[in-house]
Chains A and B, each alone.
Chain A
C-alpha cells in the first residue's frame, strides 16, 4: 500500500513539475504584469543584423540627439516581467514539442535532447552557468536577478545583477573589435529614436536563451528596441523588441519581446545590489553522470565562500566578519 501511495505521489508530482516548461512557454519569467506581450517583428526581412540596424537608423533620420535633460530616465531597480522567446521554439503548450524548421538541423537536434530532458526528467541535467559562465546574450535579457538601466547622451549602461553583467551601449558610434575576438556581451552600438533606444550587438560568444532553450553560436547577433511603456492602473513596463540573427542556429532570423517592471519589492526592502562572483561562492559542478551536483563542507573541492583568505594567521582575514562562523566537516549521516 505504501509503495502504491509513493507511486501515486511521484506520478502527481511529475505532472506538476512538467507544467513548469509549459507555463514558461505561455507566460515567461515574471509574466502577468500588464497586458500580454506582443511581438512586433520588423516590417521587412533583412539579410543581416547590420542591414537591419542601418535601416532603423535611416528610418530615424540618423537618430535623436538627446541631452542630459531630455534623455529618457529608467531609474531604480527592475526585474523581469515576462518574455515570448519560447513561442519561437515550442509548439503545443503543456505537452509541447520542439517546433521544426526554426533551428538549423544541428541546433534542432541538440535542442530536442535538451527539451526531452526538461520534459521527461523535469530538469535539464546541467546548465553552463553552473561553472560560473556569464549569462551572455540573449540570456542576459531574462535572468531574474535585478537589473538597472542608466542612460547618458553618449552611452547607456544596461546592468544585470547576475555576477555584475554590464552591457555598454555606445550611442552614435560604429562597432569596434580591438580585442580581435568575441566576448560575453560583445560590442553594442545604438541610437535614440525619440524615446526608443535602438541597439545592435555583435562579436558574441556562444551562449543560450536559457538552459531549457536553444543554444546560440559565435555568429549570434541581435537588434533591440527598448521603450518604456505606460498602461492603465499605473503599470509601467520596459519592453524590448528583439530580432535575433544566427546563421549557425536559425533557419532565418527570429523575433521575441522581453519585459521588465519596477522591482518595487526590492526597493521597498532597501535592496542594494552588491558585487559578487561565482568562482569562490558556488560549489555546484557537473558530476560523472553529466548531472549537476554539489561539493559539501569537508569534501574535496568544497569552496568556503565565508572562510578565510590565503592569510588566516593574520587578524581580520575572515570573509564572515559579523558572525565569524566556522563549519565542521562532518557531513556523514
Chain B
C-alpha cells in the first residue's frame, strides 16, 4: 500500500512536469493512454515538423513482412529544449520505441521514450504518453523480464 502511495506521488510530480506540454493543437482522445507498449524497428523518417513531430519506423512482422508504424511526438519548440532536433534520428537507424497505442488498433500511437542502439534514451513525448525517468527505469526492468506491454506487467500506480 505504501508503494502505491509513493508511486502516486511520483505520478503527480510527473504530471506537473507534463502540464507545460499538454496543450497540443489537438486532443489526445485517440490514444489508449493507460496502455504502454514497446516495439523495435528501423527509422523510415523522423519528421521534425510543427505542429507535431512524427516518427515513422519499419517493423518486421513474424511472417517476414514489414509494417510502417507511425508515432506522434511533441512540437519541435518543446523538443529543442530537451536536446532533441531534426537530426536526432537517422533513416535506417534501429530504435526501440515505447508508445501508447491508438485506440482503434492501427499501427501507431503516441511516443513515450525511445532507446537508441548505444543505450541512450530520447524523450520526444507529448501529453499522449509518458517518458519520465521513473517510467524509463520501470520499463528497463520489464524488458529484462520479457514484457512488451504494461498490461503484461504487475500493476503500478499511474501506469
Partner-B contacts on A (CB < 8 A): 2, 5-6, 8-10, 12-17, 19-20, 23-24, 27, 29-32, 80, 121-127, 129-130, 142-146, 161-163, 210-211, 263, 265-266, 269, 271, 273-274, 276, 278, 281-282, 284, 291-294, 296-298, 305-306, 320, 323, 325, 327-333
Contacts and interface: CB of A to CB of B under 8 A. Distances in A.
16 contacts: A15-B8, A16-B158, A17-B15, A19-B11, A24-B22, A27-B19, A29-B19, A125-B27, A127-B25, A210-B23, A266-B81, A284-B30, A305-B49, A328-B44, A329-B68, A333-B61
Given A13-B33, A145-B77, A325-B45, A20 B18 contact: yes
B142 interface: no
A289 to B, nearest CB: 9
B6 interface: no
B66 to A, nearest CB: 7
Contacts of A10: 34
B156 A9 contact: yes
A130 B102 CA distance: 17
Interface in B22-81: 22-23, 25-30, 33-34, 44-45, 47, 49-52, 54, 56, 58, 61, 65-70, 72, 75, 77-78, 80-81
Interface string B76-97: 0110110100000011000000
Nearest to A123: B29
A266 B19 contact: no
A160 B108 CA distance: 30
Nearest to A13: B34
B23 A142 contact: yes
B77 A327 contact: no
Majority SS of interface residues in chain A? Answer: loop
B30 A293 contact: yes
A149 B150 CA distance: 45
B157 interface: yes
Contacts of A210: 23
B155 A333 contact: no
A56 B91 CA distance: 58
Contacts of B52: 282
A29 B70 contact: no
Contact of B68 (A16, A24, A124, A327): A327
Interface string B123-156: 0000000000000000000000000001100111
Contacts of B26: 126-127, 129-130, 282, 284, 292
Nearest to A10: B34
Contacts of B61: 333
B44 to A, nearest CB: 6
Contacts of B70: 294, 296-297, 331
Nearest to A211: B27
A121 B107 contact: no
Q: What 8 A-B pairs come out closest when comparing CB atoms? A: A265-B81, A276-B50, A130-B26, A16-B158, A129-B25, A13-B34, A325-B45, A123-B29
A123 B83 CA distance: 28
A292 B81 contact: no
Contact of A23 (B15, B65, B150): B15
B111 to A, nearest CB: 13
B91 A325 contact: yes
Contacts of A271: 77, 80-81
B16 interface: yes
Contacts of A323: 45, 90-91
B157 A16 contact: yes
A260 B58 CA distance: 41
Given A12-B8, A145-B75, A329-B68, A125 B23 contact: no
Nearest to A6: B151
Nearest to A126: B27
B21 to A, nearest CB: 7
A211 B28 CA distance: 11
Contact of A292 (B27, B56, B78): B27
B107 A296 contact: yes
Contact of B27 (A14, A15, A124): A124
Contacts of B157: 12, 16
A293 B102 CA distance: 9
